[in-house]
Structure 1
Amino acid sequence: MTKNWLVLFAAITLWSCNSEVDRQESVADYYQIVGEAQGTTYAITFQGNQNPTKVKSSVDSLLAVYDLANSIYKPTSLITQLNNSSSASFAVASFPEHAYFKTCFEVAKDVYQLTNGAFNPAVYPLVNYWGFHKENFNHSPDSSEIKELLVLIDFSDESFNFKEGVVSRSNPEAKIDFNALAQGHSVDVVGDYLEHQGIENYMVEIGGELSCKGKNPNQQSWKIGIEKPTDDPTSDPNDFQMIATLTNKSLATSGNYRKFYEIDGQRYAHTIDPVSGYPARQNLLSVTVITDECVYADAFATAFMVMGMEKSITFIEQHPDLSIHAYFVYDENGQYLTKMTEGFEKFILQN
């Protein structure tokens, strides 16, 4: 068995930084801080009079607390304890960090309903079965086992509900996973912290999901490079599909071209179709979503990888109130082509 495991990311076209706190020279009082969180890295650039070392310490503490709510990799986190519970009802209000869980649950329910289940956090048992959490998939998929797991992934109100601080499940064996939106939400959380510190110009990026407010150090819109789809680990990370310019917007990219297993010549990508129980089979390689809140950009990027390009475009056209803009890269007979929703072109840097 050949196994490939590479993480998709949106490359950030900023500047090199050799330390965890770096002052930018183009405009006074711009700083960049970098660090590690959620199994990946983060980079934050901001303008302000705050001590950047203290800002970094506060961000690190904030993200550590966030993981205590929504990280499936931490045995003591709220979501892990919920998933491990054998009770049909689980009280979350006693957890100090339960507000982060509550927001993710509510956004997940919202996007689940809007996309008719294409986005589904209850797909956790299937993602785990396919091995994308523990990197331990070492057998051919069994259709009967997948059929049994499909019974557990209903995220409708009848099967999963959250009311008055209690999560109720019709089946105690059901589990949820916020990985497809929690990173985007944590970007929003850090952005909210910066704004409460009086910071108006900033870029927050965690694992490729990001939010940009105000102006960059050159007093222009923030410029973000989106990586070209490729499964070649030797490819140039600075070879961008396009450069997006953002002001007061968030961006997330999802794709199947770097995170997959290959078994006997068959590629299994990490986006699971909650209807079939198998990895989504689309010619869609990646989708970049721009919207107001990063949690929604993150969630819809995942949903669109399941829905496919045409259904996603139709969805966006039918929901103008959501202010979603999307850029798709797809494979047509071995040729990589692109398509964007109406209005996305205003976000593309014109050379």
Structure 2
Amino acid sequence: MLNFKAIYAMGPYLRIVHLKLGLQLLAVIIVSTSILGCSEPKLTNSAFNGQTMGTFYDIKVAHFPLTKSEQSAIHAEIERRLELVNDQMSTYRSHSELSRFNLSPAVNDFPVSEDTARVVAESIRIHEITSGAFNVTLGPLVNLWGFGPDHLPQEKPTVGMIKAALSRVGIEHLSHTKNTLSKNIDMLYVDLSGIAKGYGADVIAEYLESLGIKNYIVGLGGDLRAKGINANNVSWQIAIEKPSTTEHSVQHVVAVGNNAIVTSGSYRNYYDLNDERFSHTIDPITGKPAQHNLVSVTVIHSSAMTADGFATAFMAMGEVQGMTLARQKKLAVYMIYKSGDDFKEVYTETFSPFFQK
């Protein structure tokens, strides 16, 4: 087992490191530190980068220097574990556990890994808390509107097509045990894209901790989980991005402590069709892309999986209903919404301690 002990060092200057996410949502920016005029720190930052789940991952750990062979071994295991999550929960892979379950007719006790069952269980729990705003059975609608593995539609889906897709939706048709899934209708289609990346971040964080690494930040697209400090004895800090399709700039910087932070937004993942704009967040009531003024929501929680699910739910609910629920449940939530030609912000009392002045 590798064992890394934190060594404190001074690092007063901030610099922004941008995650390169291509067409994927760039919801957060990792903020790290540089040193000017002081001795070399005894800890060093090591980075591991790659692609997974349709986005990029960017992982940094602070530790005593690793050999090249140690870094290669860690990187290979990170890749293996992320590939495993894909093989379990991807709807883009026909051989994944979830795809095989989706392709099956109504079935009892379909065997899956404990990991997949665990993510489904958390999805059902968040569905109940959000009164259905988070619904992993929306797959037929996600695909109908062109945000799944299918191609973008050439025409706007008709009312009949939406009704047909809604008839295949319903969390009440889905159940689980520790290592099985069941469905009582043939066409039920489960899509975990609104929670699986968060779970992937948790998987890698837990792997790093199993090595004795106490200082890290794991980023999968807009899903991050952090712990400890970087090599300059500064807590990992995250910048919430301003909602813009033309530039990357900072709205707020937060220090999340030993927590996950997930941002979901509608301002990057969308398409235009016949002069209409459709975002990737589907309203489970109407069966259509959500129509409200909320453009970005950030959730801080101990679990990236849970934060991911709630961020997805709040994007479906909108700023009014979403903020009401967040305050009731004492969740750390920050929202940016459109007001006329301007953007405004609102956040819960439990989120405010994370802001950096």
What TM-score, normalized by structure 1, do the two folds share? 0.88
1:186 is paired with a residue of what secondary structure? Answer: helix
Q: Tell me the residue number matched to 1:223.
A: 237
Contact 1:82 1:90 (C-alpha < 8 Å) held by counterparts = no
2:316 maps to which of 277, 297, 306: 306
Q: Tell me the residue number matched to 1:12.
A: 29
Residue deviations 1:178-209 (CA, integer Å, cap 9, x gap): 00000000100111111111111111101120
**CA–CA distance in 1 between the matches of 2:115 and 2:171?**
19
Q: Tell me the residue number matched to 2:37.
A: none
Q: CA deviation at 1:13?
A: 2.9
1:137 is paired with a residue of what secondary structure? Answer: coil
What letter matches 2:147 in structure 1?
Answer: F
Counterpart check, 1:259 vs 2:269 = yes
Q: Tell me the residue number matched to 2:92.
A: 73
What letter matches 1:201 in structure 2?
Answer: N
Counterpart check, 1:110 vs 2:110 = no
Q: CA deviation at 1:220?
A: 1.8
Q: Summarize the Cα distance change of 1:6–1:36 in structure 2 as closer, same or farther, 3 Å threshold.
A: closer
**CA–CA distance in 1 between the matches of 2:141 and 2:301?**
29
2:194 maps to which of 180, 185, 195: 180
Q: CA deviation at 1:39?
A: 2.1
1:59-70 pair list within 5 angstroms: 59-70=78-89
1:229-248 pair list within 5 angstroms: 229-232=243-246, 235=247, 237=248, 239-248=249-258
Contact 1:32 1:43 (C-alpha < 8 Å) held by counterparts = yes
1:169 maps to which of 183, 192, 195: 183
How many residues were matched structurally?
A: 325
Two-structure CA RMSD over aligned residues (Å): 1.8
Q: Which moved more, 1:220-229 or 1:266-275?
A: 220-229
1:79-98 pair list within 5 angstroms: 79-93=98-112, 98=113
Q: Summarize the Cα distance change of 1:264–1:168 in structure 2 as closer, same or farther, 3 Å threshold.
A: same
Identical positions, percent: 31
Structure 1: runs of 5+ lacking an equivalent: 17-24
Q: Summarize the Cα distance change of 1:344–1:166 in structure 2 as closer, same or farther, 3 Å threshold.
A: closer
Q: CA deviation at 1:10?
A: 2.5
Contact 1:70 1:100 (C-alpha < 8 Å) held by counterparts = no
Q: CA deviation at 1:26?
A: 4.5
What letter matches 1:212 in structure 2?
Answer: A
Residue deviations 1:126-168 (CA, integer Å, cap 9, x gap): 0000011234221122011101211111002xx1111363322
Q: Tell me the residue number matched to 2:143.
A: 128
2:213 is paired with a residue of what secondary structure? Answer: coil
1:144 maps to which of 160, 165, 169: 160
Contact 2:117 2:178 (C-alpha < 8 Å) held by counterparts = no
Q: CA deviation at 1:28?
A: 2.1
What TM-score, normalized by structure 2, do the two folds share? 0.87
Contact 1:184 1:295 (C-alpha < 8 Å) held by counterparts = yes
**CA–CA distance in 2 between the matches of 1:274 and 1:333?**
26
**CA–CA distance in 2 between the matches of 1:31 and 1:136?**
39
Q: Tell me the residue number matched to 1:207.
A: 221
**CA–CA distance in 2 between the matches of 1:128 and 1:87?**
20
